[in-house]
Structure 1
Amino acid sequence: MIWEIDDHAPEVEGLDAHGRPDPAYAEALGLRTAGRGPRVLAALIEWAVAVLIALPAIVALTPVLAQVVAGRFDAEKFFARGDLVWLIVAAAVSQGLMIAYIVVQLVLHGRKGVTLGKAICGIRSVNVRTLERPGFWRGAVVRFLVAYASLIVPVIGPVLVIMLSPLFDIERRGRGWLDLAAATWFVDVRGGLNPYDAKRMRIARKRVKTPEHEEKAPLPSLATPVHRDAPAEYVPSARLSGGVIGAHRSAAAAATEQAEPSGAGSMVSAAPPSLATGAPAPATFSPAPAPAPAPAPVAAPAPPAAEPPAPAAPAPVPASAAPAAPAPAGVRAILVLDTGERIEVRGTTLFGRSPSAAAGEGEALLVPVIDDTRSVSKTHIAVMPARRGVFVVDRASTNGSAIIRGGAETVLPAGHPAELKTGDTVRFGDRSLQVEWA
């Protein structure tokens, strides 16, 4: 057995061609750089808390340190003091609290990107490349060590490293030497997006990666055209309790309906029959035998009516106009999938990976299509017979559909029906079907 291990590093979004963080990407997400004033205020709050924690040791040891600096320190007198125990306890408690304070600050900064002062001022720290948590070792420990090393040069070192270095940032994001060493960036969560809000951050990344389109495809009109020969924008796929929505007839369909028999023993012709007598002409209507009505009074006897000639034989249908292979009764179309499977369309037929009928479609034939590449949507297309023919509608699929006719491919807009003709090929996703009879 061979095991394949994917050792590729995860793709980091928001980097330019040189692998450096792109400020425009962060701005598009909604992240805003923390201002200089809130950052200084956060630092002052943290230093003030540190001084407050060390205050007992400062009060107790300041006189001793002053004697040491002045050269007047006497060790015998110092160890003979009665409050020596309290001095040691104050120094130890302050030192312990200071160590705990620093460790908590480092852990919070590395894991959550926040410290006491930053939480009060609405500031968060993130990794400048991934825009995620900065990490404990580099984001917190390295930053602390660099800041502590700046104390080697008193006053000048901290002022230059901590306060003045952010002014030299060419990206104008307030990143000083501490941020460059720790690869961090401070953002304002009150004026912009909070990078630790996973849901909003995920939505922002998707919007930047796939921008929303303001223009959307217009929905098909459900109104019935005023003129009966106007092209239909919507073909009904089901009969609702209120009737058929958007159904109308064209002139050709009306003529076809008049030519079809309406019931047993009756015939509806394309034009009303003529009952007038006159010159001999081919009969257009042969009524059933009935008693002759009483003749109306006339001034002169009417000439005898000639017997109607035999009905003319129907003209032969050209062989090219006859269908090659008539479909079974009730079948409106025959579709052949690319697997060779033949589908008889008698009503609404849905194709997809796991098709399902929508509300109001009534009973529909569900044709599941196997698609390993998942290019076919759950309900991809619908083939619907109507009075004017057979139509196909794309059901707002992910990868779209198209009709290939005469070598030309026409993309189907979602929700807009397109008439099918014999010989058409319908492509939906990576699958296709051919219309043999429609």
Structure 2
Amino acid sequence: MTPGARITAAIEVLEAVTAGDVPAPVDSVLGNYLKQRRYIGSKDRTAIQALVYGIFRRRARLGWWLERAKAKALPRNLLIAHLLLIEKLTGPELRSHFDGRHYHPYPLEGGETVLADRLEGKSIDHPDMPEAVLLECPGWAEAGLRAALGERFTEEMRALNDEASTDLRVNALVGTQEDAIAALKRDGIFSKPALYSPVGLRLGGRPALGGTEALKSGLVEIQDEGSQLLALLVGARPGMQVVDFCAGAGGKTLAMAARMENKGRIVACDVHAKRLERLTLRQRRAQAHNIERRPLTRERDPWVKRHKGKFDRVLIDAPCTGTGTWRRNPDAKWGRGGLDLAEMTSLQYAILESAARLVKPGGRLVYATCSLLAAENEDRISAFLADHPDFKQMSIFDIWQETVGTDAPPEGAVADSALRLTPARHGTDGFVAAVLERAATQDEAEEE
């Protein structure tokens, strides 16, 4: 494809993202777009993806320039601004791509010509930009993130705007960390052990993994190191009864199944049945045989009441605003599916309160989100503990060696007994996790 044809593709993807009342997830739209055009080669796919995600990584600053130039934030205008401000095209170079030939975008029109003239030669950053714009922080999250991150706000916001690393989890049901490193090396992919996760690998660059033997055989799964640590903190052991209450496609379910060595039972629950269906193939490939899939109608599904107090471990990776995953999903900053923060925190508490019923006396409940906002984490835990005196919060440092087995993250990772991971400090997605233990009965305490 020519550069102009790639620009056309990027415009079409952006138009599809913004077509509805609520912006669609970019990864889904882009994936479908490329799936329907298998003739597009790998280099062109990478270039189109870079254009699209580049727009969202700089959406606030591009929008600031467009507003200054009195232009609307339409897909073509965003691409024009990106090409001039980021890729530093000259006016003639830009017009050579927007000439309507060979699948190129149609030529610039009146307002677009004015926009191009005003932006040519400018830099993406400008001294008049507010700090939140420079840091690509959306207005709805600024106050909460400033409160949560404190003096690290600037550093963490910059890290959240970088591209994420590629992390893998080694599946102990298939092989060892050394086996995985060797298998990836045979496919020309360099990897090294993760910093904190004993089953993690970090890759150099962003290699194509789909055709590798390590992935096809189930030896490795793509999973951020922070997500791996969350699954480890559950402390699932062979023979236990475990629930992954918001399992999604089952990444943490598979991680816990491997930890359980296929002994015991793990129930993967979710209100989105189609997400759970994706677990079917993944668990077969991973050779995980102790997983049961359980679609739920809502957080208070009758199944929960019927299984009250029967599980040793319950994990809630709650739906959230996703502020900790902006490295991977920069578009999530600018459209959150129509849910405001108050609605989200209300849902989180409802899930937490319902799932807690599954925990047996002496068992543990692990609550986590991939958000850095206290409203979705510490505030939810404090409210829950106030309403449920039979639960107490455990210190992450006290259980880290038992559940993870490596050196604990450095100072700043644990606040008020909760685990708080951030991209700048730990190189992971942003995660907050708390481990709560239900009081054992007198008979169980004496037995223990």
Q: Confirm or deny a common fold (TM above 0.5).
A: no
Which structure ranks higher in relative contact order (CA pairs < 8 Å, sequence separation ≥ 6)?
Answer: 2
**Which structure: greater helix fraction?**
2
What TM-score, normalized to structure 2?
0.20
Q: Which has the larger radius of gyration?
A: 1
TM-score by length of structure 1 reads 0.20
